[in-house]
Copies of this chain bind each other. A is one copy, B any other.
Amino acid sequence: MKFCNQCGAPVRQRVPAGDNLLRYVCDACGTIHYQNPRLVVGCVPEHEGRILLCRRAIEPRRGYWTVPAGFLENGETLQQAAARESLEEALAEVTVGSLLSVVHVLHAEQVHVFFRASLPAARYGVGAESLEVVLVEPAEIPWADIAFPSTDFTLRRYLEDKAAGREQHHFTTIDRRLGRAPEG
């Protein structure tokens, strides 16, 4: 950030009075520009034991596999976002279920939230942001070509919980800033 989005004057980084973190501040109009993590929301759609995966047509990680997910928009709930992304990326009308995972992706300044979902009919297609969309058996999941660590974490917890007959939710943290491994 270089300029104030309210008055157009240059901004600089300083700690505002009463705060203890560096913020972009406009000394011309006084606006403090807070920057906070964004929410990415997705789901693991299942149809008769098979899981819906999308191969990404866009960067980052073009060509790699993921589940439907994207940024939460203003005015929608997490569940609505998960359903919308499934429709956009996989032309799939899902029913969003229980909370599955919450992943703090610290280096990306994002929080990823995934839900379980059911795909009542095996109807899906290739959305604009996908190269390919498939329904796969758990044994066919291309683990070496999964797009993101949060997707890998989420799919593994999904299968573990399903095998155990439970629906829990799972937190983890991924922090590539420090080269840390994921922690619980």
Instruction: Enumerate chain A interface residues (CB-CB to B < 8 A).
Output: 1-8, 10-11, 18, 21, 24, 33-39, 71-79, 99, 102, 104, 106, 109, 111, 128, 169, 171, 173, 177
Contact indicator B128/A104 (Cβ below 8 Å): no
Q: How far is the CA of A78 from the CA of B111 in the complex (A)?
A: 9
Residues of B within 8 A of A8 (CB): 2-3, 8, 10
Interface centre among A1, A5, A11, A76 (most CB of B within 10 A): A5
Smallest Cβ distance from A145 to chain B, in angstroms? Answer: 25
Residues of B within 8 A of A106 (CB): 74-77
Q: Which of B35, B73, B128 contacts A21 (CB 8 A)?
A: B73
Smallest Cβ distance from A69 to chain B, in angstroms? Answer: 14
Chain A to chain B contacts (Cβ below 8 Å), 19 pairs: A1-B5, A3-B3, A3-B5, A3-B8, A4-B5, A5-B24, A8-B8, A18-B128, A34-B71, A35-B74, A36-B72, A37-B72, A37-B73, A39-B111, A72-B111, A77-B106, A77-B173, A78-B111, A79-B171
Q: How far is the CA of A141 from the CA of B102 in the complex (A)?
A: 31
Contact indicator A5/B2 (Cβ below 8 Å): yes
Contact indicator B173/A74 (Cβ below 8 Å): no
Are A102 and B78 CB-contacts (below 8 A) given A39-B36, A111-B39? yes
- A102 to chain B: closest residue by CB: B78
Q: How far is the CA of A104 from the CA of B109 in the complex (A)?
A: 20
Smallest Cβ distance from A89 to chain B, in angstroms? Answer: 13
